[in-house]
Chain A
């Protein structure tokens, strides 16, 4: 099968990847040792595989790697700076918003894209914004609190 060469920026660094035509972006991330992004449903339903592609949160399990050619990609690995956690990550830890933690990268990437556009959200805004992220453990109260806390931390 003819491999495709794609050029993109991953977490701020230029990258050249060789991918298969039928390879999903999620599979390509894993193949390039970026395993923080999780495969959960694989059908677009849970948003657990969320990454930021050109500023928008998307599900990497239902996007082809080839579609990311030329894009700026941000994954959960790219959030912390110089060894210190991003405020959203910190807020998730402080609120106890991760239990098994499997859904957490997806929640955090979705929250990241959302807070870029809505720095001062209400709780209803946060609940609507996280509407597609599925979590089997927390019951959503703590992830919502964490995003509200992160919004405060980021604006102070």
Chain B
């Protein structure tokens, strides 16, 4: 099981993630082309301007009026994306398998970032229950998704701290990590891929077409 997870499973997961992501983005752009009233209003300058305002903490009014949520979501997302890519253990494996290698985070830092992801996930989960509006629009799948997203971090943390049987935990870690990759293009986590597209389109509709700001 460990061998399978380590070898083929991870490769398949990457292939599905990369292939699936390309498929979602390209098919969306083709569909947008067919809808006719989208591409004529896309402007790289205004699109980028809008993206910048929203990926910088406190760059938009809505980020400013919710400071604690803003700090939480930025820390969560930054750690979520960077930790897996910059963890020493992962890089060693990639070097072995695909002879790819780059700079890694000091282990203390990656542990800290892992904890941030886990805590962030838990807070998001609780917020879904506690905030009446968010609860009203959430369905069970939203809760499951949070669990899938933080599962690899929880198991990675446990493996690193040698909690439970290492081999069992690391196998579960790889399986949950694979699941994490695979669901990105096919569930609401696709917001990661679509963010630049929807934001850029709105940036164009506001900035290029209407000469107004959308942040």
Task: Say whether A and B bind each other.
Answer: no
B residues with a Cβ closer than 8 A to A are: none
